[in-house]
Amino acid sequence: MLLLLLESPHYLLPALHKNNSRVAVLGASGGIGQPLSLLLKNSPLISELHLFDVHLTPGVAADLSHIETRAKVQGYLGPDQLADCLKGSEVVVIPAGVPRKPGMTRDDLFNTNASIVATLTEACAKHCPEAMICIIANPVNSTIPITSEVFKKHGVYNPNRIFGVTTLDIVRANTFVAELKGLDPARVNIPVIGGHAGKTIIPLISQSTPKVEFPQDQLEALVGRIQEAGTEVVKAKAGSGSATLSMAYAGARFAFSLLDAMNGKEGVIECAFVRSEETESPYFSTPLLLGKNGIEKNLGLGNLSAYEEKIVGEALAELKGSIKKGEDFVKNRK
Ligand SMILES: NC(=O)c1ccc[n+]([C@@H]2O[C@H](COP(=O)([O-])OP(=O)(O)OC[C@H]3O[C@@H](n4cnc5c(N)ncnc54)[C@H](O)[C@@H]3O)[C@@H](O)[C@H]2O)c1
């Protein structure tokens, strides 16, 4: 058993730590929110789990509260209870918002999700301005600039504490490379940089651990599959939504890494879409060293192959457009 634990990746090892973090999930009754809350409830890193949504939270909270782990679960329903949900939260994870249907891009969700994210993060800025904010709601390339602008408006902006959760892109890259090379996916690590939509998703296969190589045609097919993996799930679900279970796993992995780092664990690295000076795009995902106060150090892009440099260049215009759209949304909002 001990050997098995020692062989597991760090994000599967919260059982070795114990502490008292307060975590809130906004959108907790949804396709992602429910399994994400289940995974969080299972973690001894968390002592209080607050679940907010506009429907179903009393039921979801009652259900999860019977699980024999120590996190105390409390449900909060509707806007009147949002402040109470957030007060004292150290980490807030936000999967609230509508998912894609076949034929839609993530940007097609902007009109609905921009105001949901702006409203929820406004409440975070007022009631838990110091919390780590982890946004899952799409389009992430716009919802992170929205969150940053909202925090700026309230005078509580700290770019080291606002994260666009892109972990699912890393999880997918690890899985697909492991499948192609006959490796254990838990032992593969591929940084994925850029943003979280189509061509802005840039897996750095040249920086894979362990090192792997592909002929150029196979490499391009692999990169294309990682970029369109979300659409693969949207099509397979045939109108009933997008990735929920794998996203819940990825969201929990990111939250556990963050909590570990906040508790003083050293050397915790995750990619996320954040405020960045690494390229001409004002927000960009790269590997980040996490610490007690969020981002401790941006580890940058590293050495790129000529092909990776090309696809980064091709992503910048779309990224900057999505970022501006998010910033303008908050500027024009009453
Ligand atoms: N970052 C990623 O990699 C990634 C991956 C998959 C999905 N997503 C995104 O996550 C979001 C959620 O997806 P889902 O499949 O869980 O959708 P869903 O429709 O199943 O659930 C969304 C939940 O949000 C709730 N909600 C809506 N407005 C709210 C508000 N104002 N306050 C609180 N809760 C509110 C809904 O009631 C619902 O329970 C979508 O935007 C989707 O595109 C992101």
What whole-number percentage of the chain has pLDDT above 90? 93
Residues framing ligand 1 (Cβ under 6 A): 26-27, 29-33, 52-55, 95-100, 109, 113, 116, 119-120, 136-138, 140, 165, 168, 196, 241-244, 247
Residue 138 assigned to a binding site: yes
pLDDT of residue 137: 97
Q: Give start and end residues of each alpha helix (H) in the chain.
A: 2-7, 33-41, 57-65, 82-86, 110-127, 140-153, 167-181, 216-227, 229-237, 245-262, 306-331
Through-space distance between the first and last CA atoms of the chain, rounded to whole angstroms: 57
Show Cβ contacts of residue 154 under 8 Å, excluding neighbours closer than 6 positions: 122, 125, 126, 129
Residue 247 assigned to a binding site: yes
- The 10s digit of each residue's pLDDT in 151-197 is 999 999 999 999 999 999 999 999 999 999 999 999 999 999 999 99
Place of tokens 């700290």: 158
The arithmetic mean of pLDDT across residues 10-24, rounded, is 66
Distance (Å, whole) CA 330 – CA 326: 7
Pocket test for ligand 1, best of 37, 56, 92, 98 (most atoms within 8 A of CB): 98
Expressed in percent and rounded to 5, the helix, strand and coil fractions of the chain are 50, 20, 30
User: Could you state, in order of their start, the residue ranges of all structural domains in the chain?
Assistant: 12-164, 167-325
Mean residue pLDDT across the chain = 94
Helices 110-127 and 140-153 meet at what angle, rounded to 10? 40
Distance (Å, whole) CA 268 – CA 262: 10
* Number of C-beta neighbours around residue 224 at 10 A: 12
Residue 246 pLDDT grade (very low, low, confident, very high; cuts 50, 70, 90): very high
pLDDT for 120 beyond 90: yes
Residue 334 pLDDT grade (very low, low, confident, very high; cuts 50, 70, 90): confident
* Number of C-beta neighbours around residue 185 at 10 A: 15
Pocket test for ligand 1, best of 26, 32, 237 (most atoms within 8 A of CB): 32
Q: Is the model's pTM score more than 0.85?
A: yes
Distance (Å, whole) CA 82 – CA 24: 10
Length of the chain: 334
Place of tokens 């690494």: 278
Radius of gyration in angstroms for the set of CA atoms belonging to the chain, rounded to a whole number: 19
Is 167-325 CATH 3.30.2350.10?
no
Q: What are phi and psi of 322, to 5 degrees?
A: -65, -35
Residue 3 pLDDT grade (very low, low, confident, very high; cuts 50, 70, 90): very low
> Which CATH number is 12-164's, of 3.40.50.2300, 3.40.50.720, 3.40.47.10, 3.40.50.300?
3.40.50.720
Residue 15 pLDDT grade (very low, low, confident, very high; cuts 50, 70, 90): very low
Distance (Å, whole) CA 33 – CA 52: 9
Which pair of structure tokens corresponds to residue 229? Answer: 């993996």
pLDDT of residue 114: 97
What whole-number percentage of the chain has pLDDT above 70? 95
In the reported structure, the alpha carbon of residue 116 is separated from the centroid of ligand 1 by a whole-number distance in angstroms of: 10
